[in-house]
Amino acid sequence: MTPHNITSFIIRSAIQTIPTSMRWPRRSPAAPAVTDPITSDKNALEAAATCASEYLDGKLKPVILVGPKLGRAGAEKELLQFAEAMGCAVALQPAAKGMFPEDHKQFVGIFWGQVSSDAADSMVHWADAMICVGTIFNDYSTVGWTAVPDIPLMSIDMDHVTFPGAHFSRVRMGEFLSHLATQVTFNETTMIEYKRLKPDPPHVHTAAREDALTRKEISRQFEIEMQWGHIGWSIPAAFGYALRHPDRHTIVLIGDGSFQVTAQEVSQMVRYKVPITILLINNRGYTIEVEIHDGSYNKIKNWDYAMLVQAFNSTDGRAKGLLANTAGELTDAIKTASEHKEGPTLIECTIDQDDCSKELITWGHYVAAANARPPRNMSVQE
């Protein structure tokens, strides 16, 4: 491995924010890494924006679909600029939640096939062109391959742009979106249609303090690792987030099954006195897996999670472990956690094993059907 290879590898890893692994001899040269940011080829950028604007001018009902690669490219501001220049509907893939403001007038929901929110599914299927910005289509994001768009796609990736009849490489996502925003024609056709389909805002019921706890009092917004479905990802990831941004209050929502995979990382939070709040939703099993394919392997040994966190303290730690069975207990526990600054606070929230959303049930059925298909080019023989 040469210094050039190492430099390219590190830069690619940093830009795309992906896990990487490098191996090299001990006596490799100590050449400095080149850290100048990679920019678009000017000619390719200009040509791509011109061709893309001409392509979009021929479409009557375009929709923007945002995927998780947008965050890796750090192009959230450029997307907002482009979306407002277009004036069309904007939907998000589930793994891109939070990358476009959900209170923006152009936001039409999470596109997730049969389990989409608001009117996102209807808008995507009504459109005559989809502008995909950093999207990833896999079995999870397409609900078992049942929600793959069947309309012309313009794919804006991290370093290239593709649409029918054209492909441009060496074009950075943020620069392309910003440049294209100055050339497109405002088209709010999809927003006019969305106003006809937009559902009434949900009525949020505030639970009484003595009410039994359910998932509805817990989930509001999330940061999710969805591409590989890493169970237990959020605990070590939150630790990294908190160290990088000590001025922010990091809050983790995790299930009991996932927590058992990476529980040991909480000891590092205790060690560095990181004031993370962990909301552990204990339903005594892998509920997502239950909805895909149930079996005894989805039932797990229950732990005393609140006590476990305190065990990490030893003689010098300051972690807190709390238990919440009702809405009132959860309210009190959250207040305690927000005031605790000397270490992590874990709040164990106990809910019923069958307490899950109808969207999860539907999603699980379709993913299970996709998982049950025989491999390609092979047939099942009796």
- Based on the fold, state whether residues 160 and 75 are members of the same structural domain: yes
DSSP codes of every residue in 16-36: HT--------TT---PPPP-P
- Based on the fold, state whether residues 109 and 50 are members of the same structural domain: yes
- Based on the fold, state whether residues 153 and 65 are members of the same structural domain: yes
Tell which of 197, 231, 261 closes a domain.
197
- Based on the fold, state whether residues 240 and 299 are members of the same structural domain: yes
pLDDT of residue 221: 41
pLDDT of residue 382: 43
- Asked, for residue 378, whether it belongs to a domain, the answer is no
Q: Label the pairing between strands 166-169 and 160-163.
A: antiparallel
Q: Is the distance from CB of 357 to CB of 105 less than 8 angstroms?
A: no
| Number of domains present in the structure of the chain | 2
- Based on the fold, state whether residues 186 and 230 are members of the same structural domain: no
Between 61 and 376, where is the model more confident?
Answer: 61
Q: Is the distance from CB of 82 to CB of 178 less than 8 angstroms?
A: yes
Between 77 and 376, where is the model more confident?
Answer: 77
CATH of the domain at 122: 3.40.50.1220
Whole-model pTM?
0.72
Structural domain that includes position 98: 42-197
Residue 379 pLDDT > 60: no
Helix, coil or strand: residue 167:
strand
pLDDT of residue 113: 85
- Lowest average pLDDT, out of 144-158, 265-279, 338-352, goes to 144-158
pLDDT of residue 206: 64
Q: Determine whether 56 is exposed, middle or buried from the number of CB atoms within 10 Å of its CB (0-12, 13-18, 19+).
A: buried
Cβ contacts of 115 within 8 Å, gap of 6 or more? 143, 359, 360, 362, 363
Q: Is the distance from CB of 94 to CB of 83 less than 8 angstroms?
A: no
> Rounded to the nearest 5 degrees, what angle is found at the Cα of 356, between the Cα atoms of 354 and 357?
140
Between 148 and 55, where is the model more confident?
Answer: 55
CATH of the domain at 330: 3.40.50.970
Summarize the confidence of residues 271-293 as an average pLDDT: 89
pLDDT for 34-49, tens place per residue? 666 789 999 999 999 9
Between 124 and 374, where is the model more confident?
Answer: 124
The upper half-sphere exposure of residue 147, i.e. CA atoms within 13 Å in the direction of its Cβ, equals 28
- Based on the fold, state whether residues 183 and 247 are members of the same structural domain: no
Between 296 and 242, where is the model more confident?
Answer: 242
pLDDT of residue 36: 67
- Based on the fold, state whether residues 75 and 175 are members of the same structural domain: yes
Q: What percent of the chain has pLDDT over 90?
A: 56
Q: Is the distance from CB of 83 to CB of 149 less than 8 angstroms?
A: no
Residue 28 pLDDT > 50: yes
| Average pLDDT, rounded, for the chain | 87
pLDDT of residue 79: 98
- Based on the fold, state whether residues 140 and 97 are members of the same structural domain: yes
pLDDT for 177-236, tens place per residue? 999 999 999 999 999 999 988 877 766 666 676 676 665 544 344 566 776 667 889 999
- Based on the fold, state whether residues 172 and 235 are members of the same structural domain: no
pLDDT of residue 27: 64
- Based on the fold, state whether residues 185 and 254 are members of the same structural domain: no
Helix, coil or strand: residue 194:
helix
- Lowest average pLDDT, out of 30-44, 92-106, 314-328, goes to 30-44
Q: What percent of the chain has pLDDT over 70?
A: 87
- Based on the fold, state whether residues 159 and 189 are members of the same structural domain: yes
Summarize the confidence of residues 1-10 as an average pLDDT: 72
Of the pLDDT bands very low, low, confident and very high (cuts 50, 70, 90), residue 93 is very high
pLDDT of residue 211: 72
Residue 365 pLDDT > 50: yes
